[in-house]
Amino acid sequence: MTNINNLQSVCNDNDQRGKKSGTKFLIITSVDDDDDNDNILSCLNQTNDETVVVNLNDKNIINTQLNFNKNNKRYLSSMEDKILNNDSKISIIKRRKADLTCVICEGHASGYNFDQISCESCKGIRCNIRYDVKQKCQRCRLLKCFESGMRKDFILTPEQKLSKQQRLEENRRMRSAQQNNFVSNIPSENTNEISNIYNKLEPIIAISSSPSYNLTDVDWSCLQYIQNAYLSALQSSPSASSVISLELAPDKMSAYMNTLDIQNFAAVKLINFIRQIPEFEQLDEYDRLTLVKYNLVLLFSIRHALTFDVTREIIYDDNMNNSVSQAEEAFAQHCKSLFILCYGYEFNRLFMSILHTIVSLVDSDAVIAQLLMLNMIFLKGLSAIDDQETSLNNNQSVFHVHSKYTDLLFRYLIERTSFNAAVIKMIRIVELLIKIQRLSRDFHRYIKSKIDVNYVNPLMKSLLHLA
């Protein structure tokens, strides 16, 4: 009774304080008689927004509410743990996917495959190794190489590669030193004496049951004479860069004429070189004229290869020194641009390809190029132009000279490399001559269709059969 009265007084006090609206709690601790009920009703009937009555005597209600609260707390706690766990898992997965590395090819991995971290390519165990597949497994590629027949024992370590390169350089240095020492010991009092020894060479290849491919003293004298003759021919006439101007041609026909004038200087030097060869001078005038007229143009490629810069793809003009001046550099660039302007980029690429082949065959040895030029000038039927080639008066003599230089070239290649390597190079030389024939034929047809022959200088007009 006392508790309810106190509660009623609290309610009345609150009502008199401005009759503010709100939620009010009525807690019943005990009910003894009807007066208590009236007091309760009086509190409930007051003008309040909401009144909550809590009966502490009702144990069922209290227990139910306590259990409900406990369940809510437990549910909220479990939900909070799940959210935290999911957030941590997402962060771990994102971090791991970005950091995974394939244990097979060491590329970016996508996850676990067959109990190992691997990429999409390697999880198939047998990767597809093809040229059109960008992501190739290095392990499967290596296995496929071995299955295709590649030798595992041929794989060299960096130390073995360096040792092999050093051995090759040492062998090359020893051969060069022996050759230079031998040639330097040959007496060279005058050119006539060397020419007399040179003339004693047998023009016909001697065929025996046990042929010897070693170069004799006479052979080395011959090679020395050829080198001196070539250097003498280079110095016999001025270079094209010292005569031809770098000014732009006023028209296309003038540009064509400039290209032919540049080749005219090369033709003069080659003729001076060939005329110093005793066998050539021993032929009659008609045969000499025929060989020069039909074969000399094909020698241009061999001569240009001796001064060809494989990196920049330009041809220097008679560069006998290792250093190149700025004037020679500018002239070489001018000639390249002029050639592309007149004959097109495709024709220039074909010519550059032939020069690269010659450089790889010659291997920085001018003697091979000089012997090859002599071999070609005495080769009847080398020309591939459309005009009918005239016959020679002395075919047998020309054939003997050609055979002699072929034999000398072959034995010199053996001296420089080996028998098998020399055979391979001779086969490649035959292929090269066919390419040069095609290039010369196409060049002749193009010139004939584009140029007015009245403007061509006499020597090039004869060599290109434009007369």
pLDDT in tens, the chain (467 residues): 444 444 444 444 444 444 445 555 555 555 555 555 555 555 555 554 455 555 555 556 666 666 666 666 666 666 666 665 665 555 444 445 557 777 776 777 777 776 777 776 666 656 666 655 655 567 777 777 777 677 776 677 888 778 878 877 877 777 666 655 544 554 544 445 555 555 554 444 444 434 567 888 999 999 999 999 999 998 888 888 778 877 777 788 888 888 898 899 999 999 999 999 999 999 999 999 999 999 999 999 999 999 898 888 888 877 666 677 788 888 888 888 889 888 888 999 999 999 999 999 998 889 999 999 999 999 988 887 766 778 889 999 999 999 999 999 999 999 998 999 999 999 999 999 999 999 998 888 888 888 888 888 888 888 888 86
On whether the CB atoms of residues 405 and 374 are closer than 8 A, the answer is yes
Q: Are residues 205 and 144 in the same domain?
A: no
Q: Are residues 266 and 387 in the same domain?
A: yes
Which structure tokens are listed for 187? 């007496």
Residue 208 falls inside a structural domain: yes
Using CA atoms, how far apart are residues 366 and 306, in angstroms rounded to an integer? 7
Which structure tokens are listed for 343? 């004959």
Q: Are residues 276 and 376 in the same domain?
A: yes
Cβ contacts of 210-216, under 8 Å, gap ≥ 24:
213/410, 213/411, 213/414, 213/415, 213/419, 214/411, 214/415, 215/411, 215/412, 215/415
In this predicted structure, what is the pLDDT of residue 25?
A: 53
Residue 94 falls inside a structural domain: no
Q: Are residues 333 and 438 in the same domain?
A: yes
Q: Which of 59, 85, 111 finishes a domain?
A: 85
- Structural domain including 138 reads 100-154
Pairing relationship of beta strands 50-55 and 23-28 according to DSSP bridges: parallel
What lies within 8 Å, CB to CB, of 62 at 6+ separation is: 56
Residue 91 falls inside a structural domain: no
Q: Which of 25, 58, 85 finishes a domain?
A: 85
In this predicted structure, what is the pLDDT of residue 50?
A: 52
Instruction: Give the distance, in angstroms, between the CA of residue 102 and the centroid of all CA atoms in the same chain.
Output: 29
Q: Are residues 143 and 224 in the same domain?
A: no
In this predicted structure, what is the pLDDT of residue 412?
A: 94
Q: Are residues 37 and 105 in the same domain?
A: no
Which CATH number fits the domain that encloses residue 411?
1.10.565.10
Residue 314 falls inside a structural domain: yes
Q: Are residues 75 and 223 in the same domain?
A: no
Residue 173 falls inside a structural domain: no
Residue 412 falls inside a structural domain: yes
In this predicted structure, what is the pLDDT of residue 183?
A: 47
C-alpha torsion angle, residues 384, 385, 390, 395 (rounded to 10): -20
Q: Are residues 21 and 58 in the same domain?
A: yes
Q: Are residues 49 and 104 in the same domain?
A: no
